[in-house]
Amino acid sequence: MTVRHDPSTFRRRLATGEKLVGTFIKTPTGHAVEIFGALAYDFVVLDEEHAPFDRGAIDQAVVAARAAGIAALVRVASATPSNLMSVLDCGATGVLVPHVASVESARAVAAACRYRGGNRGFSNSPRAGDYGGLGMWEHVDRCDAITTVVAQIEDPQALDQVDAIARVEGIDALFIGRGDLAVAMGAKGSDAPEVRDAAARIAAAGKAAGKPVMVFTGGAADATAMRKLGASAFVVSSDQGLMRQAAAKALADLGSID
């Protein structure tokens, strides 16, 4: 029996270290989001950074997430205050922010996503404010309670500051960006020793600060290893990756028929 959780509980569930499973959404429509919601995945990540999402496509994908009862994070293409505000105003559960490589950038991101103690631009007229249905402070309190801010650590220079980044108030979790780390380090792959060491360092920083750790994984074996390292939230492939995998298997299966 599948259990579907209210998306508003995602931040709390993440903070408690509950095992959570999600996927990247690369196709800018709501259909894949609905499918993953129906399957009771815990979350999706709309990939504005590496897929053709604009604000209109993000808006519609968030509508689908709400209808399907699944938490929707957005991996933003830009960490400017206006872009962070726009996806949160659309009603996204939170943001995954790439290339957080310094304490200063972590503080700026956290501030842009919070009302109290931050500087998020106020409006309760978009979807996040129930189109004006929520009063000013009801909207402020609700958004600050559920908005999830994840810092993606994927630059070698971030490793020297990762302990301090993890302690920044308003940063809810760390995401280990093994692909970018591997490329930046000139490593053979995401499982190279130097990348594994970097991942362990990031996970240790999260543990020391009481912050959960998220990671992209290709499958169960890798997820098991990262779970032992301390990760609790796993992004498994993407809608396009899983479609390609299933399509390849179907073609191979039918190709074996005489």
* Helical packing angle, 239-255 and 31-38, nearest 10°: 80
pLDDT in tens, 206-226: 999 999 999 999 889 999 999
Give the residue numbers marked as catalytic.
Answer: 50
In the predicted structure, residue 1 carries a pLDDT above the cut 60: no
pLDDT in tens, 120-166: 999 999 999 999 999 999 999 999 999 999 999 999 999 999 999 99
As given in the structure block, the two tokens for residue 111 are 């501030």
As given in the structure block, the two tokens for residue 218 are 């290709």
Q: Please tell me the pTM assigned to this model.
A: 0.96
Distance linking the first and last C-alpha atoms of the chain = 38
Quick one: pLDDT at residue 256? Answer: 83
Q: CATH number for the 7-255 domain, one of 3.40.50.1220, 3.20.20.60, 3.50.50.100, 3.40.50.720?
A: 3.20.20.60
3-state helix, strand and coil shares in percent for the chain, rounded to the nearest 5: 50, 15, 35
* pLDDT: which is higher, 43 or 1: 43
Return the half-sphere exposure (C-beta side, CA atoms, 13 A cut-off) of residue 118: 27
As given in the structure block, the two tokens for residue 74 are 């957005």
Show Cβ contacts of residue 179 under 8 Å, excluding neighbours closer than 6 positions.
154, 190, 216
pLDDT in tens, 221-258: 999 999 999 999 999 999 999 999 999 999 999 988 87
pLDDT in tens, 92-126: 999 999 999 999 999 999 999 999 999 999 999 99
pLDDT in tens, 160-198: 999 999 999 999 999 999 999 999 999 999 999 999 999
Quick one: pLDDT at residue 257? Answer: 84
The distance from CA 218 to its chain's CA centroid, rounded to whole angstroms, is: 16
Percent of the residues in the chain that have a pLDDT greater than 90, as a whole number:
96
Average pLDDT over residues 6-22: 97
Predicted confidence band at 4 (pLDDT cuts at 50, 70, 90)? confident
CA–CA gap between residue 155 and residue 165 (Å, rounded): 13
As given in the structure block, the two tokens for residue 151 are 């810092």
